[in-house]
Amino acid sequence: MASFEALYGRKCRTPVCWLEAGEKQFVGPEIVQETTDKVKCIRECLKAAQDRQKSYADKRSRPMEFLVRDRIMLKVSPWKGIILFGKRGKLSPRFLGPFKVLARVGLQAYKLELPPEMAGIHNTFHVCYLRKCLAEEESVIPLSEIRVDENKQSVEEPEAILERNTKVLRHKVVGLVKVQWKHHRGANMTWEAEEDLRRRYPHLFA
């Protein structure tokens, strides 16, 4: 008997014999030709489905290329229970970086400049794990310089007063000052009411 029948205790139903186990019938040229036609039809349907899915993917995908010295974000997977690049848990960041591109390896890989704490990781990655960093380098804030209050909100600090002005309202005159902020998102210079700013940051007017 065949090894499949010895292992499972029944005959194997191959494409050339789609009959129920136990039935006796001679395989003639007709059933062989029918099986060949069915296999050919199946292959054509699979090829059509693959071409259709490939056309969908080609429309939405574009080749990614980076230049040397570009700043790149590295994609990581939040595997449960596994420390990946020093991060753990599903709340860990999906991207690490930015890192600088040192060289291009072949057509689909790049060599990155990794920090010393990632010395045990190979510095060459496939292009599918890389994303270009769109943030401006001077806008990156070190974590050690961020202050958070009791409400878990970032505390912004003014650096200097650049200009002074007054705004005349219907019943009073409001003094305005142009403040340059430290680590401020967006434009780092805004006009603020001098009275409110003096109450919040008295050291700025000392």
Is 65 a member of any domain?
no
Domain residues for the domain of 23 are 3-60
Residue type, position 27, single letter: V
Domain closes at, from 37, 60, 83:
60
Phi, psi of 54 (to 5 degrees): -65, -40
Same-domain check for residues 165 and 121: no
pLDDT band at 145 (very low <50, low <70, confident <90, very high): low
- What distances in angstroms separate CA 163 from CA 81, 119, 192, one per listed residue? 54, 48, 11
DSSP state of 154: B
Averaged over 29-55, what is the pLDDT?
89
Same-domain check for residues 54 and 79: no
Same-domain check for residues 125 and 181: no
Domain closes at, from 15, 32, 60:
60
Same-domain check for residues 134 and 154: no
Determine the pLDDT at residue 198: 84
- What distances in angstroms separate CA 138 from CA 141, 182, 186, one per listed residue? 8, 12, 12
Nearest to 166 by CA among 143, 198, 191, 148: 191
pLDDT tens string 165-182:
888 888 888 888 888 877
Determine the pLDDT at residue 82: 46
110-113 contacts at long range (C-beta below 8 A, 24 or more positions apart): 110/66, 110/72, 112/72, 112/74
Same-domain check for residues 92 and 108: yes
How many domains does the chain fold into?
A: 3
* Residue with more model confidence, 146 or 33: 33
Is 48 a member of any domain?
yes
Determine the pLDDT at residue 79: 46
Same-domain check for residues 126 and 181: no
Same-domain check for residues 125 and 153: no
Is 185 a member of any domain?
yes
Is 26 a member of any domain?
yes
Whether residue 97 has pLDDT greater than 50:
yes
Is 66 a member of any domain?
no
Which of these ranges, 38-42, 116-120, 180-184, has the smallest mean pLDDT? Answer: 180-184
Averaged over 98-114, what is the pLDDT?
91
Is 109 a member of any domain?
yes
Which of these ranges, 28-42, 65-79, 132-146, has the smallest mean pLDDT? Answer: 132-146
Same-domain check for residues 18 and 44: yes
Determine the pLDDT at residue 6: 79
